[in-house]
Amino acid sequence: MAQDDHSGAELAAADSSHAAQEFAGSTGTAVVPYDAFENPGFEPHRPRVTDQDPGREKRAQRTVYTLFYLSILGSVWAVAAYMLFPMESNNVDAVRLNNMFIGFGATLALLGIGFGAVHWGKSLMTSAESIDTRHPISTSEATQRGAVEVFRQADEESGFSRRTVIRNSLIGALLVFPLPAVVLFRGFAPQDELPAELLSHTMWKKGTRLALDPSGVAIKASDVTIGSAFHVIPEGLTELEHGKLEEKAKAAVLLMRLEPGELNQLPERESWSYEGIVAYSKICTHVGCPVALYEQHTHHLLCPCHQSQFDVANHCEVIFGPAKRPLPQLPIAVDDEGYLIAQSDFTEPVGPSFWERN
Amino acid sequence: MSTASTRSPAPVKRSFTAEASEYLNDRTGLAVAIKGLGRKAFPDHWSFLLGEVALFSFVVILVSGTFLTFFFQASMAEVHYDGSYVPLKGVEMSVAMASTLDISFDIRGGLFVRQMHHWAALLFIAAIGLHMLRVFFTGAFRKPREINWVFGFTLFVLALAEGFTGYSLPDDLLSGNGLRIIDGLVKGIPLIGTWTSFLLFGGEFPGNVIVGRLYTLHILLLPALLVLLIAIHVGYVFIHKHTQFAGPGREPTNSVGPPILPIYAAKAGGFMFIIWGVISLIAALFTINPIWNYGPYDPSPVSAGTQPDWYIGFADGALRLIPPGWEFVWLDRTWSFNILVPLVVIGIFLLLVVAYPFIEAWIKGDTREHHIADRPRNAATRTAIGAAGVTFYAGLWAAASSDILATHFSLTMEGVIHALQAATVLGPFIAYFITKRVCIALQKKDREIVLHGYESGRIVKLPGGEFIEVHQPLDEYDRWRLVSHESYQPLMLRPNARGKITVGQRVRASLSRWFFEDRIAPVTRGELEASHTSHH
């Protein structure tokens, strides 16, 4: 085994007598038995087959350079694949082939170098281990005292501890000076809007027609057969110039038609439905995913994100999952032409709960 | 001139490397580093490679990510897609999504680089997690490495942040839903939640700035912090020198292993290429995050079986495990405990992870430096605590796939959630108990082997007709591996200098009892001799 020389033989010699003391700290609750075994020292070095058998050594050498040559082959192949497998418009398979063959080339190039180098290291390089002496991480006590002395001297020369008014006013200034930077972050959102206000209103208002998502075609009550469900947006949403997704994130609605007898409506909401057609906010009251999965025969809605379940027959109350509040109901009616319309906006904020909600 | 005449005559022919190294050294003084580090011993063990996997996959992330920045455009402006992927032609989407599709379908090798980037990121975080488990279970966080544990933990958190910000950039349906969940989470935080969400998204969700903001974090702030902390973290590995497992000749005061130059360099350097090659192979063969199947973000549609990337799973699962009804209105304000509880529980869990080295050090009161890695069985209580933590994490993580579990195994959604709730709460206790017993049993087995040797498989019939199996004693090298560790005993509660027993000492004593009351001490010389004499 090669003794390391970089840490300094003379240092190591000087250390060995002190090593135990230098590393000594409190043993705490560790038990150090008086008759513990002693370290038997290093095992005799075991030569590898490549050290003993010239044939095996030759073979290992061949393996290593073959791997390196294969790597070159892989790199060349990757470049060739770049040219041989162009991406063609309208052809997903071409993309796949391009991806795969460039990838195979790169893989061969990388693995060839990797396995070659590891094999070289393991089978051909001298296998002796190095031995380093560890030194305590802590510096010597003199250095430590020196550092403390530097601070003490700096303190004395500046009068940091002595001139308390100066010191405290500086600390005060340092505490306050980041404030303007913090205030600048207010600019992250529009200045003239209040979040709680915005979250309490949606695009729906009296007379807004219910339209299909995503086409925006208005829905006639007669088109909604019993058992069907529609993804709904307010008419006019698709024509919005700005804030289309923001409005949609609040206004998305699910429309379902049940047998009127199956509907267990709250007395104050009896006028909110039309012949068994009910409309509920599609935005989960948990953290806001779209509650998009409707199970027709149980009248249950399932949120695919965290599995909250809502019972449409019972005014969308929560029957399972982490959500607390029922999905808000959109009061609907039918206009003169037979189209479904909203009676008003939602009567409560839709979507996830927030602090100022009530 | 006179000086010229005194010059040495025929110049000795010197090699190019000698000349070049002298040139460099005269200008940089690098020889100090080479001489100091070049032959440093680097202890060897397969589990020491986990941190290297993380480091090497990070290199892939940096290189592939830089390539992607040349093509990706972090804008949420609306465009009609006009690239090569026909099914989405004409669809309205953000520039971010369209440019990600272009990387995938219109730039040769672009999909390959994108997949390398994503797979490497998944591997990066997985490797960090396993590396942390290795450090934890072998006690490699003990003095002097506690602070490096904190740096490593911070890297883990930064890696999660990098992962999530990157995942959100393409602005596809899946990542948009992920952001929607973040928005809902943030809004559930008392007092500051609504405004925080408003500022984060630049107005109402989803707004048109979030991708740009996450991009700045993803490619500037977070990578800078990561690179800085990785440099510090790895720098301290050099300063502390790597831990090593107990073995003949290995002492707390030395470090034994192949020298950095050449063997370690060849093996670690080769390993780096192997990791790159493996990531490349995966990227060549397996699709990751096919955003073209999801489509652009729209707050209305969502597909069943939505899953975040694996490392966010534990947080998503925590949300799913909350029973119905944990939200209240109090003082006219909404208190969303269905969101607060997961956040606080995960926060406490992470806090315990980062604080563990300091807690254990305080209980033990051991201020010596420790450079010999523990075998997990020899620190039974720590290993059991680790197993409990892993089980807890696994429960949360499994919950993120509750819907997949239900549909694949034809179970009810409710049944899966209830089972996972039980597993997450009770599982850690069961895991703790089983692990501790197994560790103690293994320690006893080690003692048995040291005292009586191992079973040789040789059956001998004694003159009296009795059959015995001959036990072969260990040689001194193998024995050393089984007896070189230390054991700790519970702290004896004693009054301090002022004759008082402080509350702190009481807590420490009871924790110490919990840790060390089931103590199996390693065999001593005296015990071995006694066992030999009793046989004859």
pTM above 0.95, yes or no: no
Asked if A357 reaches chain B (Cβ–Cβ under 8 Å), the answer is yes
Residue with tokens 């991806």: A99
Element (H, E) at B199: helix B193-200
Q: Shortest Cα distance from B161 to chain A (angstroms)?
A: 20
Q: Where are the alpha helices (DSSP H) in chain A?
A: 9-23, 49-52, 54-84, 92-119, 141-158, 164-176, 179-184, 195-199, 244-251
Per-residue pLDDT of chain B (536 residues; tens, 9 = 90+): 444 455 555 667 788 989 998 999 999 988 888 888 888 899 999 999 999 999 999 999 999 999 999 999 999 999 999 999 999 999 999 999 999 999 999 999 999 999 999 999 999 999 999 999 999 999 999 999 999 999 999 999 999 999 999 999 999 999 999 999 999 999 999 999 999 999 999 999 999 999 999 999 999 999 999 999 999 999 999 999 999 999 999 999 999 999 998 999 999 999 999 999 999 999 999 999 999 999 999 999 887 777 899 999 999 999 999 998 999 999 999 999 999 999 999 999 999 999 999 999 999 999 999 999 999 999 999 999 999 999 999 999 999 999 999 999 999 999 999 999 999 999 999 999 999 999 999 999 999 999 999 988 899 999 999 998 889 999 999 999 999 998 999 998 888 888 898 999 999 999 999 999 998 999 999 999 998 876 54
* Residue B130, token pair as written in the block: 């396993």
Contact B242, B48 (CB under 8 A): yes
B495 Cα to chain A: minimum distance (Å): 16
Contact A321 B239 (CB under 8 A): no
Structure tokens at A12: 């190591």
**How far is B91 from B149, CA to CA, in rounded Å?**
48
The distance between the two most distant Cα atoms of chain A, rounded to a whole number of Å, is 103
Q: Which of residues 281-340 of A touch B (CB under 8 A)?
A: 282-284, 286-290, 292-293, 302, 304-309, 318-325
Closest CA to A102 of A89, A117, A83, A121: A83
B366 and A26 within 8 Å at the Cβ level: the answer is: yes
Q: How many helices (H) and strands (E) does chain B have?
A: 21, 10
Q: How far apart are CA A18 and CA A11, in angstroms?
A: 11
Burial of A186 (0-12, 13-18, 19+ CB in 10 A): exposed
Q: What residues in B contact A309, CB-CB < 8 Å?
A: 413
> Taking CA atoms, what residue in B is nearest to A252?
B300
Rounded to the nearest 10 degrees, the angle between the axes of helix B413-452 and helix B380-399 is 160
**What gap in Å lies between CA A253 and CA A256, rounded to an integer?**
10
Q: Residue B282 in contact with residue A103, Cβ under 8 Å?
A: no
Return the SS3 of B71.
coil
CB B479 within 8 A of CB A38: no
CB contact under 8 A, B108 and A102: yes
The total number of residues written for chain A in this structure: 358
Distance CA B142, CA B369 (A): 7
pLDDT digits 0-9 by tens, B52-99: 999 999 999 999 999 999 999 999 999 999 999 999 999 999 999 999
Q: Residues of B numbered 286-315 whose beta carbons fall under 8 angstroms of chain A's beta carbons: which are they?
A: 297-306
Number of CB atoms found within 10 A of residue A305's CB? 29
Q: Is A117 on the interface with B (CB under 8 A)?
A: yes
Question: Which B residues, 11 through 50, put their C-beta within 8 Å of a C-beta on chain A?
Answer: 35-41
Which B residues 348-407 touch A at CB under 8 Å? 363-369, 371, 402-403
Kindly give, in sequence order, each residue whose CB lies less than 8 Å from that of residue B228, ignoring residues fewer than 6 positions away: none
| Mutation target vs B (from A1, A51, A125, A325; most B CBs, 10 A cutoff) | A125
Nearest to B510 by CA among B520, B498, B497, B501: B501
Beta bridge partners of A218: A211
CA-nearest of B200, B214, B297, B94 to A248 is: B297
Of A41, A193, A308, the CB nearest to B249: A41
B227–chain A Cβ distance below 8 A for any pair: no
HEC-encoded secondary structure of B237-294: HHHHCCCEECCCCCCCCEEEECEHHHHHHHHHHHHHHHHHHHHHHHHHHCCCCCHHHH
Residues from chain A that touch B291, judged by Cβ atoms under 8 A, are: none
Name which of A15, A29, A135, A301 to mutate to probe chain B: the one with the most chain B Cβ atoms within 10 A of its Cβ. A29
- The A residues from 191 to 250 touching B (CB cutoff 8 Å) are 193, 195-196, 198-199, 213-214, 231, 233, 243, 245-246, 248-250
Q: Quick one: tokens of B10?
A: 């025929």
What ipTM goes with this model? 0.92
Is A61 part of the contact surface with chain B (CB cutoff 8 Å)?
no
Amino acid at A334: V
Q: Is B446 on the interface with A (CB under 8 A)?
A: no
Query: B263: nearest CA in chain A?
Result: A121
